[in-house]
């Protein structure tokens, strides 16, 4: 069975899968538009799979921000697969490209399903959000709080961004909107102290999840990284094995810059997963693959829009479905 058929079966015959794939389809419409156009154009121009075809395909993928070394790996894989299956018609290659994009995401790990968050059962789960200003930390916390709450979990938020004016207020607004409590101190206070209080409150109120906001900017980068280490130490001291996730939030519209942010933050703290926001705002959604392949950190959540329901657990198959949806429908 072609990979397109497999995706079609998965995402068009089951209602809950269909809801997920619709979100991806909407959120990735900008990327899909340019991507499908270019691929269709390639297929129309070449018909036969040859060296020139692969060279042009390379350009299309690089333009979608897939990342140069990831593209090289992908093209090598594709060439082998095309040879193995004895494919000469470029039309058939479309499905193989989508299949290889998923493979590239998983790499050597045999995982078939999406990774998801490391949630503790019957115990407090602490999730720390880090990332530069404006990437979407606070918004993601609000959206995730809403989701977890609707799953029946007791959620508490901590306003650890005490640096940026208005940051505490912004998180409080989210708290009101999704009806969860927010532990906060005043602007300029010690973030480690707020987070400490958040943990005590979460323990005494028997919360299931504590989501901790942090500052994205301080006087300088060294201060920021020191502060994050301190916050993390406070959490570790209060709860063994916590934080259960350190999620680095990256803005997909910043492209390759997101990769360099990831490198800086990974040096200062153990990042366990990436939240990639604003995929709806870019035509270069291929950055998901570059992040996974070049940093080795799993993308756990993606932001596909500004609505509270637009945060999704990252699923490579749904992602690829979102990229190829028009071609899949044409099959
Ligand atoms: N379109 C879109 N906008 C987003 C997404 N996530 C966050 N934003 C917007 O990005 C802006 C900055 O978000 P904020 O949470 O304040 O960033 P923070 O400084 O990291 O806390 C806000 O206007 C959000 O509405 C997303 O997935 N899609
Ligand atoms: Mg914020």
Closest protein CA for atom 25 of ligand 1: 306
Domain with 58 in it: 3-113+321-329
Asked if 67 and 91 sit in the same domain, the reply is: yes
Asked if 265 and 135 sit in the same domain, the reply is: yes
Contact 216, 227 (CB under 8 A): no
Asked if 89 and 206 sit in the same domain, the reply is: no
The verdict on the CB of residue 305 being under 6 Å from ligand 1 is yes
Asked if 150 and 253 sit in the same domain, the reply is: yes
Strand order in the sheet with 209-214: 181-183, 155-160, 209-214, 125-130, 245-251, 273-277, 299-303, 311-313
CA distance linking residue 114 with residue 266, whole number of Å: 22
CA distance linking residue 229 with residue 223, whole number of Å: 10
| CATH code at position 65 | 1.20.120.140
Contact 126, 244 (CB under 8 A): yes
pLDDT for residue 173 = 98
The verdict on the CB of residue 303 being under 6 Å from ligand 1 is yes
Contacts of residue 204, Cβ cutoff 8 Å, sequence gap at least 6:
none
Closest CA to 57 of 71, 73, 69: 71
The SS3 call for residue 278 is: coil
DSSP 8-state symbol, 48: B
> Max alpha carbon distance in the chain (Å)?
67
119 within a domain of the structure (yes/no): no
Is position 133 annotated in a ligand binding site?
A: yes
| CATH code at position 260 | 3.40.50.300
305 Cα nearest atom in ligand 1:
28
The tally of domains found in the chain comes to: 2
Is position 101 annotated in a ligand binding site?
A: no
Is position 56 annotated in a ligand binding site?
A: no
Closest CA to 262 of 278, 246, 242: 246
pLDDT for residue 256 = 84
Is position 27 annotated in a ligand binding site?
A: no
CA of 175 to the centre of ligand 2 (A): 13
Long-range CB contacts (< 8 A, 24+ apart) of 18-24? 20/312, 20/315, 20/318, 21/318, 21/321, 21/322, 21/325, 23/304, 23/309, 23/310, 23/312, 24/304, 24/312, 24/315, 24/318, 24/319, 24/321, 24/322
CA distance linking residue 181 with residue 166, whole number of Å: 18
For residue 188, give both structure tokens. 């300029």
Closest protein CA for atom 17 of ligand 1: 136
Asked if 280 and 145 sit in the same domain, the reply is: yes
Asked if 255 and 107 sit in the same domain, the reply is: no
CA of 161 to the centre of ligand 2 (A): 7
The verdict on the CB of residue 278 being under 6 Å from ligand 1 is yes
Asked if 164 and 215 sit in the same domain, the reply is: yes
141 Cα nearest atom in ligand 1:
15
DSSP 8-state symbol, 279: G
The SS3 call for residue 93 is: helix
Asked if 142 and 271 sit in the same domain, the reply is: yes
pLDDT for residue 292 = 86
The verdict on the CB of residue 306 being under 6 Å from ligand 1 is yes
170 Cα nearest atom in ligand 1:
16
277 Cα nearest atom in ligand 1:
27
CA of 39 to the centre of ligand 1 (A): 31
pLDDT for residue 108 = 63
Contact 272, 262 (CB under 8 A): no
Q: For each of the chain's 331 residues, which pLDDT tens digit applies?
A: 788 989 989 998 888 889 999 999 999 999 999 988 999 999 999 988 999 999 999 999 999 998 898 899 999 999 999 999 999 888 889 999 999 999 888 876 655 555 789 999 999 999 999 999 999 999 999 999 999 999 999 999 999 999 998 999 999 999 999 999 999 999 999 999 999 999 999 999 999 999 999 999 877 788 888 999 999 999 999 999 999 999 999 999 998 899 999 998 998 889 999 999 999 999 999 999 888 888 889 999 999 999 999 999 999 999 999 999 888 877 7
């Amino acid at each position: 069975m072609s990979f397109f058929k497999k995706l079609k079966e998965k995402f068009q015959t089951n209602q809950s899968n269909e809801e997920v794939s619709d979100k991806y389809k909407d959120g990735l419409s900008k990327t899909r538009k340019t991507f499908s156009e270019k691929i269709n154009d390639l297929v129309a121009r070449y018909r036969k799979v040859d060296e020139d075809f692969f060279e042009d395909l390379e350009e299309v993928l690089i333009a979608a921000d897939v990342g140069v070394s990831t593209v090289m790996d992908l093209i090598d894989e594709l060439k082998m697969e095309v040879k193995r299956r004895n494919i000469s018609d470029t039309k058939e290659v479309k499905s193989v490209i989508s299949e290889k994009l998923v493979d590239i995401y998983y790499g050597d790990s045999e995982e078939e399903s999406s990774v998801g968050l490391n949630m503790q059962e019957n115990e407090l789960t602490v999730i720390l959000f880090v990332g530069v200003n404006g990437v979407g930390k606070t918004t993601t916390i609000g959206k995730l709080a809403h989701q977890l709450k609707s799953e029946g979990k007791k959620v508490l938020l901590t306003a650890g961004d005490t640096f940026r004016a208005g940051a505490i207020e912004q998180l409080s607004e989210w708290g009101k909107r999704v009806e969860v409590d927010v532990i906060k101190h005043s602007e300029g206070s010690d973030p480690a102290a707020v987070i400490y209080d958040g943990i005590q409150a979460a323990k005494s109120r028997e919360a299931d999840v504590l989501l901790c906001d942090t500052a994205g900017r301080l006087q300088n980068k060294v201060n920021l990284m020191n502060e994050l280490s301190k916050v993390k130490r406070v959490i570790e001291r209060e709860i063994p094995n916590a934080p259960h996730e350190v999620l680095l939030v990256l803005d997909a519209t910043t492209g390759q810059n997101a990769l360099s942010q990831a490198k800086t933050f990974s040096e200062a703290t153990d990042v366990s997963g990436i939240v990639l926001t604003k995929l709806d705002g870019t035509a270069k959604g291929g950055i998901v693959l570059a992040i996974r392949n070049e940093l080795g950190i799993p993308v756990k959540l993606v932001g596909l829009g500004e609505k509270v329901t637009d945060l999704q657990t990252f699923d490579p198959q749904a992602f690829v479905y979102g990229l190829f949806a028009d071609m899949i429908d044409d099959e």
